[in-house]
């Protein structure tokens, strides 16, 4: 019983991390119909900028033994701003030229090329290129370096809840402050995103663009700006996920470690399972794969931890190819 | 069409780039004065196991500087070429191939990670260049062929040391042990198998065997499952990067029993990553800096003076590996691959920093191991365990 509850707690906290990352994949797909494979690297960037900010602050500004409570939020916001900016730059300089045919900075001097609509393979290859670029720049010596690092403790270790169940040996359920903060922070961020998408003018524009880009443009919606906003929002959520990952797992893997790719891939699977393009689907998908992963590892075997996730993906694709919350789209000819 | 022109120029630049860059290594080989003897070292200077590579390289450098200061080998200076393999099998392949084919080194030193030595071994064997692994403990490493030898003990022995310590030492006296190992790491897999064998043979019970992947960050499910079986000790035969996260999460789940591991723990990064969580945990290692013997203390002073840090076991093994190579060069009739490999394999009672080293018939070193305890971020000597005779 205790272990069941403990696994449940872990699933919730890991699930909200997956959900945060999955949102970025799903938003870009919803609007541009392509998978931004560089999104996983934004998560890594978020984790490492958080690490850099936190260490710099600890070293130069707040060198005392006490860590003020506001340092965590400050680091979080700073890394969200950096990643939002990088997300904007990626869209502006890597993806937009493919969409519009205009080369940034040089477009004044060069004639625009004709872009064939639906040439998705170009965008996909660019995404992979951007991802490799981020990984390799990240492990340069003067950027983040290529060794694992220890994230400074911004949240003190504290047991919010400890339940002990009788038995031999007595089992206990421990819920740490980190898990509670992860759950709360991601809930707040997801609510804010929901609010933006469904309650504001920008959100209406996003939905309009995702419904039909050409018509939205004809209606006077600044499509390029809406797409930029989507990238920035997705990257900021990824940065938040990166920050929370660094809080929960203080031993930070080096930026180009293969395990980060797996993390991005799993979040992508979460988006597909929930129904890619659907925001609520991404959240649901994130929690579902965390549950499958954690309970599978506990009750069956930890050796197949990643297998469960991908088997689930295959099953969903066989039964409901559009994902759990995805709507069936009839292809128009 | 300025764009077409521009893109053509760009393509031309791209096409020429490898030639411009590629000239360099070839150039140095041609100009290399024949008076120098080249030895190669490939190591993870960056990447997930960067401290392993850096320590080893420092150790090797120290030995090379020493011999050069003493006049070199028969009047010829020894030159060390080190390539970074970034803890990546593909990079190892390239680095070692370059060492043996283009740099034409007389011998190769490396790697710490067994899985990477297993990539390099066959290359050295094929080209007939002797390879000495300073600290790859998996048995398969030297099974590649007669060119490959090592100066560290092997995993079956290390697992025996851990099992014996866990079962018999007053501090642990464990009757039940759980295991958490990396299923994609050659080193970890063999240590787990051997530990399980020895621990049960000594009358202990293995309560749970859990796995993870190298680099995993979340271990909650595995640790929850281990916690349910209530072991006296948890054996974690991984590398320091993973062990750090595992220790933190274990303590957060209220697991208070000591953790136990192998020489993959030996890095200053471990207490840095794990903090207090690793206090009171034990691992087996090749040597202890607290060893009062003059050989060790002399090495310690030299190393500290040169690199400003206390050498870990991997630095000591790098140093020993290079010195064994130099000693074998003295005994060998010439520096041809076969003869040199034979001389290395015949090393007997070599007085190394990591103990008396004798290379056996399988080209493995036979020597004792020490158990160290982590305490306030420091490693403390606990006991020495002799080889199985």
Report yes or no on A221 lying in a domain: yes
- Give the minimum alpha-carbon distance from A189 to chain B in angstroms, rounded to a whole number: 23
Query: Is residue B18's pLDDT more than 50?
Result: no
Q: What percent of chain B has pLDDT over 90?
A: 73
Predicted pLDDT of residue B24: 41
B269/A139 CB distance under 8 A: no
> Quick check: A250 and B245 CB within 8 A?
yes
Are the beta carbons of B232 and B179 closer than 8 angstroms?
A: no
**Summary mean pLDDT of chain A:** 89
B272 neighbourhood in chain A, CB within 8 Å: 150
Q: Is residue A164 part of a domain?
A: yes
Spatial distance between the Cα atoms of A291 and A311, rounded to a whole number of angstroms: 14
Instruction: Report if residue A5 sits inside a domain.
Output: no
pLDDT at A127 over 70: yes
Residue B16 — pLDDT band, cuts 50, 70, 90?
low
pLDDT tens, residue by residue, B116-128: 999 999 999 999 9
**If DSSP codes are grouped into helix, strand and coil, which group holds residue A143?**
coil
DSSP B238-299: S-HHHHHHHHHHHHHTT--SPEEE-GGG-STHHHHHHGGGGTT-EEEES--TT---HHHHHH
Q: Give CATH superfamily name and number for B37-153+290-367.
A: Response regulator (3.40.50.2300)
- CB contact residues (below 8 A), chain B span 208-247, against chain A: 210-218, 220-222, 224-225, 227-228, 230, 241-242, 244-245
Say how far apart CA B317 and CA B59 lie, in whole Å: 7
Asked if the C-beta of A250 comes within 8 angstroms of chain B's C-beta atoms, the answer is yes
Q: What is the pTM of this model?
A: 0.85
A203: domain range? 24-256
What local confidence, expressed as pLDDT, does residue B81 receive?
A: 95
In a domain, A285, yes or no: no
Q: Select, from the ranges A30-34, B7-11, B132-136, the one with the highest average predicted confidence (pLDDT).
A: B132-136
Structural domains of chain A, count = 1
Which residues on adjacent β-strands are paired with residue B350? B357
Candidate from A140-144, B3-7, B321-325 with smallest mean pLDDT: B3-7
User: Residue A149: its chain B contacts at CB < 8 A?
Assistant: 273
ipTM of the complex model: 0.88
> Which B-chain residues 73-112 have CB contacts (< 8 A) with chain A?
86
Is B389's pLDDT higher than 80? no
* B215 with A258: Cβ contact below 8 A: yes
Helix (H, G, I), strand (E, B) or coil at B368: coil
A292 is written with which tokens?
A: 């499958």
> Domain residues of chain B, as ranges?
37-153+290-367, 156-285
Lowest mean pLDDT among A106-115, A260-269, B241-250, B266-275: A106-115
pLDDT grade, residue B25 (50/70/90)?
A: very low
**DSSP letter string over B102-113?**
IS--SEEE--SS
Instruction: For residue B50, give the chain A residue with the closest CA.
Output: A147
- Mean pLDDT, residues B148-155 taken together: 93
Asked if residue B110 lies in contact with residue B43, where contact means CB atoms within 8 angstroms, the answer is yes
Give the pLDDT score at B21. Answer: 44
Residue A187 lies in a domain: yes
Q: What pLDDT score was predicted for residue A166?
A: 74
pLDDT of residue B27: 37
Q: Which of B157, B145, B150, B374 is nearest to B271 (CA)?
A: B374
Mean local confidence (pLDDT), A306-322: 93
- pLDDT value at A2 more than 70: yes
Q: What is the mean pLDDT of residues A20-26?
A: 94
Helix spans in chain B (H): 2-31, 50-69, 89-97, 114-127, 140-143, 155-168, 186-201, 220-228, 240-252, 269-274, 294-307, 313-331, 337-345
Reported as type and span, the H/E element at residue A127 is: helix A120-138
Cross-chain residue pair B218–A7, CB shorter than 8 Å:
no
Using one digit for the tens of pLDDT, what is the confidence trace for B346-366? 999 999 999 889 999 999 998
Bridge partners, residue A150, by sequence = A251
Residue A69: predicted pLDDT:
85
Domain assignment present for A58: yes
* pLDDT exceeds cutoff 80 at B335: yes
Question: Does any domain span residue A277?
Answer: no
Tokens representing residue B309 in the block: 């840090």
pLDDT in tens, A151-204: 988 888 788 888 887 776 677 888 989 999 999 999 999 999 999 999 999 999
Write out the CATH class of domain B156-285.
Answer: alpha beta
Contact residues on chain A for B244, CB-CB shorter than 8 A = 148, 150, 250-251
The reported pLDDT for the residue numbered B9 is 58
Q: What is the pLDDT of residue A118?
A: 53
Residues in A closer than 8 angstroms to B220, CB to CB, are 6-7, 10, 14, 294
pLDDT at A113 over 70: no
In a domain, A329, yes or no: no
**A 3-42 residues inside an 8 A Cβ radius of B:** 3, 6-7, 10, 14
Contact B220 A294 (CB under 8 A): yes
State residue A100's pLDDT score.
Answer: 81
Say whether residue B323 is in contact with chain A using an 8 A CB cutoff: no
């Amino acid at each position: 019983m205790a272990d069941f509850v403990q696994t449940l707690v872990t699933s919730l906290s890991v699930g909200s991390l997956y959900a945060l990352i999955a949102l970025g994949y799903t938003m870009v797909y919803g609007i541009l119909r392509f998978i931004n494979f560089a999104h996983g690297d934004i998560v890594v960037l978020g984790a490492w900028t958080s690490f850099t900010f936190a260490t710099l602050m600890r070293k130069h500004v707040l060198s005392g033994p006490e860590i003020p409570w506001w340092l965590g939020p400050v680091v979080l916001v700073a890394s969200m701003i950096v990643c939002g900016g990088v997300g904007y730059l990626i869209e502006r300089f890597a993806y937009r030229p493919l969409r519009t045919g205009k080369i940034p900075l040089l477009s004044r001097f060069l004639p625009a090329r004709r872009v064939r609509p639906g040439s998705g393979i170009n965008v996909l290859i660019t995404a992979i290129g951007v991802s490799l670029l981020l990984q390799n720049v990240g492990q340069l010596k003067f950027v983040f370096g290529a060794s694992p690092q220890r994230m400074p403790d911004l949240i003190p270790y504290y047991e919010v809840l400890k339940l002990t169940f009788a038995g031999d040996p007595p089992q206990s359920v421990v819920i740490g402050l980190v898990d509670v903060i992860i759950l709360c922070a991601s809930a707040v961020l997801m609510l804010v995103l929901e609010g933006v998408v469904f309650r504001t003018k920008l959100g209406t524009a996003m939905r309009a663009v995702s419904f039909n880009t050409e018509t939205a443009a004809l209606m006077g919606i600044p499509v390029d700006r809406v797409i930029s906003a989507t990238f920035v929002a997705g990257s900021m959520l990824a940065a938040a996920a990166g920050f929370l990952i660094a809080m929960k797992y203080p031993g930070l893997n080096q930026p180009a470690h293969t395990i980060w790719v797996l993390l991005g891939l799993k979040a992508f699977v979460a988006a597909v399972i929930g129904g890619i393009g659907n925001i609520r689907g991404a959240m649901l998908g994130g929690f579902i794969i965390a549950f499958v992963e954690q309970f599978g590892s506990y009750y069956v075997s930890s050796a197949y931890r990643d297998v469960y996730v991908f088997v689930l993906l295959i099953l969903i694709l066989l039964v409901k190819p559009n994902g759990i919350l995805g709507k069936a789209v009839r292809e128009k000819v | 069409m300025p764009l077409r022109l521009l893109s053509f120029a760009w393509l031309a630049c791209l096409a020429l780039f490898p030639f411009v860059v590629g000239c360099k290594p070839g150039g140095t080989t041609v100009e290399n004065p024949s008076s120098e003897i080249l030895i190669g070292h490939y190591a993870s200077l960056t990447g997930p196991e960067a401290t392993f590579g850096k320590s080893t390289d420092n150790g090797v450098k120290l030995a090379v500087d020493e011999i050069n200061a003493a006049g070199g080998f028969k009047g010829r200076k020894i030159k060390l070429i080190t390539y970074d393999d970034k803890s990546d099998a593909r990079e190892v392949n390239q680095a070692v191939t370059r060492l043996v084919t283009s740099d034409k080194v007389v011998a190769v030193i490396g790697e710490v990670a067994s899985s990477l030595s297993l990539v390099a071994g066959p290359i050295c064997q094929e080209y007939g260049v002797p390879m000495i692994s300073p600290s790859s403990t998996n048995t398969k490493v030297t099974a590649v062929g007669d060119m490959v030898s090592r100066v560290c003990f092997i995993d079956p022995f290390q697992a025996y040391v851990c099992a014996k310590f866990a079962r018999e030492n007053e501090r642990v006296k464990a009757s039940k042990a759980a295991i958490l190992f990396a299923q994609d790491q050659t080193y970890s897999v063999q240590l787990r198998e051997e530990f399980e064998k020895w621990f049960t043979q000594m009358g202990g019970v293995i309560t749970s065997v859990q796995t993870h992947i190298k680099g995993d960050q979340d271990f909650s499910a595995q640790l929850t499952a281990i916690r349910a079986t209530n072991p006296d000790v948890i054996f974690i035969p991984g590398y320091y990067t993973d062990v750090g996260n595992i220790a933190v999460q274990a303590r957060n789940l209220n697991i208070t029993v000591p953790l136990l591991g192998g020489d993959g723990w030996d890095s200053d990064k471990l207490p840095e990553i794990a903090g207090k969580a690793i206090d009171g945990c034990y691992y087996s290692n090749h040597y202890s800096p607290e060893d009062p013997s003059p050989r060790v203390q002399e090495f310690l002073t030299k190393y500290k003076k040169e690199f400003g840090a206390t050498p870990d076991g991997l630095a000591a093994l790098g140093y020993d590996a290079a010195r064994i190579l130099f000693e074998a060069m003295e005994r060998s009739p010439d520096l041809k691959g076969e003869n040199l490999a034979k001389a290395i394999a015949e090393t007997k009672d070599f007085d190394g920093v990591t103990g008396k080293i004798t290379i056996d018939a399988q080209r493995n070193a036979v020597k004792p191991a020490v158990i160290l305890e982590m305490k306030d971020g420091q490693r403390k000597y606990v006991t020495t365990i002799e080889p199985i005779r």
